[in-house]
Amino acid sequence: MPQVMEFKLPDLGEGLTEAEIVRWLVAVGDVVAIDQPVVEVETAKAMVEVPCPYGGVVTARFGEEGTELPVGAPLITVAVGASSLPEAPAAQAAEAEGSGNVPRPLIGYGEDHSRPARRRRVRPVTAAVSAPVVVAPVAPVAPAAPAAPAAPVVSAGPVPVISPLVRKLAKDGGVDLRALKGSGPEGLILRADVEAALAALRAPEPAPAAPVAPAVAAQGERIPLKGVRGAVAEKLSRSRREIPDATCWVDADATELMAARAAMNAVGGPKISVLALLARICTAALAKYPELNSTVDLAAKEIVRLPSVHLGFAAQTERGLVVPVVRDAQHRNPESLSAEFARLTELARAGKLAPADLTGGTFTLNNYGVFGVDGSTPIINHPEAAMLGVGRIIDKPWVHEGELAVRKVVQLSLTFDHRVCDGGTAGGFLRYVADCVESPAVLLRSL
């Protein structure tokens, strides 16, 4: 008899708590093999095909295309051992016999028991629809009429008033002395009691509260803030909340750097990009100023200086802005950096970056000059401590060796976390980068 196994959405990477179903790769009734991709999902970091650890017949899919599911929510159910399964090859049969087709963790995913999945209402897709439950309408209960205020008890005996002035004051004001309770000895009605009654009679009735106009929703096209856009919004908002950032900038003469690049590319071999040269300058600068390759541990109230430079770089794609990470950039030369930048950029534009390619950065290089702008004050990529921005390289008048000349000028900006260093450290880092841009020979001292 077949056993129905439920496959839940696995943990797809660091910090990911949900994923959106983009495209189902199987339908109910299809036969699937072990580790066959069954659905394509979009996380906040990448598009991922999710393989199923069970082999059998798909009996149900949970969620339509476009539905967002939390990690740990049911994804599909598979009838394992169904009679409709095709005969597996001998090797697969031996493997199935040895394993018993028991649930296995997906390769590269693993389970995360450290955080509970957020509860989210998910509509499972099933073949049968349960009969609707008819609830008898309940007759509305009429609200109870408000109780009339109790009439004051009027004493039939003599009124405890001694002063004729008090009597006259009450008569002129229309106050029934028999309805008053005196505050004097043995209930004697005093002038203060009558004046208090008169003040109560003259007090204006409270005006009815003005009706509150309902909030009017903003008009226009509404775009869900989810996926890559939602992840970017959350990370940048957190950066603004937690990091006291500051920005400094400088103009640099990049004529010698561009000449050095042209000389490198003239000898043949893989082309060296400007971004790769700037990345190599960054790793050398971070070696001199390690404060900027760090992060802040708020729980421990400590600054953590990181031993390796995992360099992130901003890449614009059709899905939005992503920041792939080059691992151990401090050990790479410009040729290796150029190749890795090209590889990651191609994967980013194809939407095939793995979650591991988008996490773990320690410093970001942002080349916004490709958009045709000179400068910017970027937001730090939390939880990093700094970001170097590079504007466009254009011809400008520049004083060179005492004479006015047309040179290739670039604006460099550094946004840094003021908790990890002061302005002197940030200024020293930026000045060193600018010196290497203006005179690439300066970089030879650190190679």
Residues facing residue 386 across a β-bridge: 416
**CA–CA gap between residue 191 and residue 180 (Å, rounded):** 11
Of 12, 114, 22, 110, which is closest to residue 70 (Cα–Cα)?
A: 12
Give the β-pairing of 294-297 and 363-366.
unpaired
Contact indicator for 326, 313 with CB cutoff of 8 Å: yes
Residue with tokens 């700037």: 278
Identify which of 308, 356, 352 has the alpha carbon closest to the alpha carbon of residue 110: 356
Give the whole-angstrom CA distance, residue 41 versus residue 100.
29
Give, in order, the Cα–Cα distances in Å from 49 to each of 33, 229, 346: 15, 20, 18
Of 411, 349, 206, 370, the residue nearest 275 (C-alpha): 370
For residues 121 and 62, is the Cβ–Cβ distance under 8 A?
no
d(CA 407, CA 394): 8
> How far from the centroid of its chain's Cα atoms is residue 53's Cα?
30
Helices (H), 133-273: 164-173, 191-202, 227-242, 255-266
Beta strand extents in 68-144 (DSSP E only): 68-70, 74-80, 124-125
State the Cα–Cα distance between residues 27 and 20, nearest whole angstrom: 17
Which residues are CB-contacts of 335 (< 8 A; sequence separation ≥ 6)?
269, 270, 272, 276
Type of residue numbered 320: G
What six digits make up the tokens of 232? 């970017």
Instruction: Report the SS3 class of residue 406.
Output: strand
What residues act catalytically? 418
Q: How far apart are CA 67 and CA 123, in angstroms?
A: 9
Bridge partners of 305? 294
